[in-house]
Structure formats: structure tokens, C-alpha cells
Amino acid sequence: MSVRMRGFSQYTRLSEALKIIFSKIKPLDSESVSLEKGLGRVLAEDVVSEVNVPPFDRSAVDGYAVRASDTFGASVQRPVELRVVGSVEIGFQPKLRLKKGEAAKIMTGAVMPLGSDAAVMVENTKLDGNRLKVFVSVTPGKNVSAMGEDVRAGEIALKKGQLLRPQEIGMLAAIGKLRIEVVRKPVVGILATGSELVEPGEKPPPAKLVNANAHSLSACVQSCGGLPKILGIAPDDFEVIKRTLRKAAVYDMVIVSGGSSVGEKDLVPDAIAEIGELLFHGVATRPGSPSGFGIVGGKPVFALSGFPAAALVGFELLVRPALLAMQRLPPDFGRCRVRAKLARKISSALGRLEVVRVCLRREQRAILAEPIAITGSSAFSSMTRADGFIMVPENVERLEAGQEVEVVLYS
């Protein structure tokens, strides 16, 4: 039943809304990309190394390759004396083999010569001609990076479902994996509705507003690994909105900003219900309570508030987890949290989860969370000034100043 000009008779709890969303979200298929395009992608396969890393035993220090047994008992007071029989250059296979009582000069990363099983740091030695005094005792393997110490041939180097960060890209390069199978990026259509909207860069006439939401939501999609497609502005026309939603169903997901509340011109939920399936409308959160979710043409559609802060909160709570699930990542992936003390009290309405934007500051040894705006859905400034947010549960009416809380950080 339409809630326009009636109001919400009940709200869906956030936990229930997420259950509904996850029941309809399907992981995307995979695609092959080059190593250079792998950053930020999610592995769709286990990557098995065909080589050892490192590919040979190498020195981890600048100093001397030795037989560990020749150094046993060495100390500053009673150094062991060895004979230097050569040196090993980086990038060349050594031809010498160490015998008892012998050592070879070696640099970090160079191949350990045959017969050696340890390296002594140059700081722990003194060279006089070809006679080397060693002032420490080393054990076999000391200061040596063994062949396959990092990754062995036949071993899983990276697991399916891992996000590829710079360090994973380096690992792939080290094992010679130049093409990788990754989860396809979700392509997300972003539609703004409202006859009062004009595009950024235009000088808005009286009573008109700039369509900023499409661009902030586009950035949100990118931050979650998606590919946004801004679809422009749809006027408050039921047939136009339905037609646009049908066309947008070519994308993996659709986000609609505006037209989701209970006013006469809030047509989006009814449009979703008429051409598809509206699964919920009205979530027990503040801000963002008019948010809705449905299916059109087999694709998930999110209806978010037209108010900037409410739209961004709706994205964080509802859309972000869905985008991550599409990429086979946990719904809270990448979210960092810190414990802080409230700088002042927060009052909250029972029955709705309150999302309170906060800025953080350090005071002596404590981290303080200062609430920016407890109410209000339109102000971008409450978001731009925020370091993160606190979620006050539905059954909590008040948080006291000095109370320890968990702050979810904005990335």
C-alpha cells in the first residue's frame, strides 16, 4: 500500500532490512584482468605459485657468508678467525665453495655460496687483509632468507576472496602471475528524481536545487569497488520514473535519490512496486528512514532520501553492504572502528536506530567523540566535518557524556 500522504504505519528494523537485501543479492561472475589492473579487485580464484620465493638461499645482511659451526664460541673477548677466500656479487651465481675455516664477502640479496649456511653482519667482524675476525656466534640459517621461505612452489600464495592491495600485487608479480581471475565490478546506475533539481555548474533559478546527491553517491559506489553510471535527473512524473527504472535494469544495481518519502510527489516506491517488487519501504533509522528496496527487471533497486546526509547514511547502512556482498566480500569489510568517550550526552528516540555523526579529538590520553548533528537530514556539512559515526541502538534512549562508544570511521 502506498504511504504517500499517509505516512509510515510501521518501519522495518535495519537488521531485517539487511536480511531481505542479502536474500536478493547474488555474487557477480568473474573476469580475467592483467596484473596492472588488479589493484582494488577481489580474487575469484586461489592463486597457486609455480615458483619458490625467494628462488634461492640469499643473504639477508651485508657481511660474510660462513659455516655456522666455524663461529661457535666466538665472542668479543675470544673472536674466531676465518680466511676470506672470495666475494659474492648480487645477481651472479657464486662459483666458490666454502671449506672449514673459510668465509666469503657477501651483500644483502646475493646467493649464498655452496658450503655456507649462515651470514655474519659486517658490524660483528673485523677484516685484516684476508683474515677475518668474527665476534659473534651464529646458528645455521642465521641472517639467511631460505629458498621458498616466503612462498613455496605448489603453495597457495593468495586465496580466493582476497582484496588485492599493493602488497598482493607485489606478490603476484613475484610469482610471475600476470593475469588473474577477479570478481567483476558491479555497475551501478544512479538516478536523481525531482523537478526542482538542476545539474552542478548551472546557476539554480529560485526554488531550484543542485543535484549533488548523484555525485556523492557515485563517489560512494567507487569507494566500494563499483562502477557508477550517473543517469541524470528524472522529473516528478510517474511514467517517466517507471520508464527510466526499466531502462536502468541493464545495470547490476540501481540507486535512486529522492522521491522516497511520503509526500505527494514521492513516486519512486510506487513506481518500483508497479513495475517490479517493493520489498520494504521505511527503515527504523534516523536519518534515512524513508529508504526503500525492491527488485525491477531482476535487479536490486534502492530508494534513498533526497536529503544529502540521509542519502549518504542510507548508502552506508543499506547499499554499501550489498555492493560488498556482490563482490564476495563481508558486509562490513574495510570498516575501521575505534573506541572513544562521548564529549557530551546524546538523546535518542526509542524504536529507531540513531546514526550520530561525530568528529574525533584527542584530549590527554583519551579520544573524545563530539556529536556534530543528532537530527537533520539535509546538511552536507555534518558529513564533511565528521570523522565517523555512532550507531545508537533502537532500545537505547540516552548515551551519557563520558560513556565509551564505538565510532565507525569514514574511510
Q: What is the pLDDT along the chain (411 residues), one digit of tens a residue?
A: 565 545 567 899 999 999 999 999 999 999 999 999 999 999 999 999 999 999 999 999 999 999 999 999 999 999 999 999 999 999 999 999 999 999 999 999 999 999 999 999 999 999 999 999 999 999 999 999 999 999 999 999 999 999 999 999 999 999 999 999 999 999 999 999 999 999 998 888 888 999 999 999 999 999 999 999 999 999 999 999 999 999 999 999 999 999 988 778 789 999 999 999 999 999 999 999 999 999 999 999 999 999 999 999 999 999 999 999 999 999 999 999 999 999 999 998 899 999 999 999 999 889 999 999 655 555 778 889 999 999 999 999 999 999 999 999 997
User: What is d(CA 164, CA 199) in angstroms, rounded to the nearest whole number?
Assistant: 35
pLDDT in tens, 1-46: 565 545 567 899 999 999 999 999 999 999 999 999 999 999 999 9
What spatial distance separates the first Cα and last Cα of the chain, rounded to whole Å? 38
Query: Residue 377: what pLDDT?
Result: 53
- 282-319 burial string, b = 16+ CB within 10 Å, else e? bbbbbbbbbbbbbbbeebbbbbbbbbbbbbbbbbbbbb
Report which of 143, 65, 138, 73 is spatially closest to residue 98, judged by C-alpha positions: 65
Q: What is the dihedral of CA 160, 165, 166, 172, to 10 degrees?
A: 10
Query: Residue 261: what pLDDT?
Result: 82
- 277 sits in which H/E element: strand 277-281
Instruction: Point out which residues pair with 388 in neighbouring strands.
Output: 358, 409
In the chain, CATH 2.170.190.11 sits at 58-145
Query: Residue 411: what pLDDT?
Result: 79
In the chain, CATH 3.40.980.10 sits at 14-28+185-326
Query: Residue 380: what pLDDT?
Result: 79
Cα of 161 vs its chain's centroid, Å: 12
58-145 is classed in which CATH architecture? Beta Complex (2.170)
> Which option is the CATH number for 337-409: 3.40.1160.10, 2.40.340.10, 1.10.10.10, 3.90.1200.10?
2.40.340.10
Query: Residue 266: what pLDDT?
Result: 86
Query: Residue 4: what pLDDT?
Result: 53
User: What is d(CA 197, CA 26) in angstroms, rounded to the nearest whole number?
Assistant: 33
Instruction: Assess contact for 33 and 182: CB atoms under 8 A.
Output: yes
In the chain, CATH 2.40.340.10 sits at 337-409
Instruction: Assess contact for 326 and 252: CB atoms under 8 A.
Output: yes
Query: Residue 202: what pLDDT?
Result: 86
CATH of domain 14-28+185-326: 3.40.980.10
Place of cell 666458490: 96
The DSSP-derived string for 69-80 is GGGTT--SSS-E
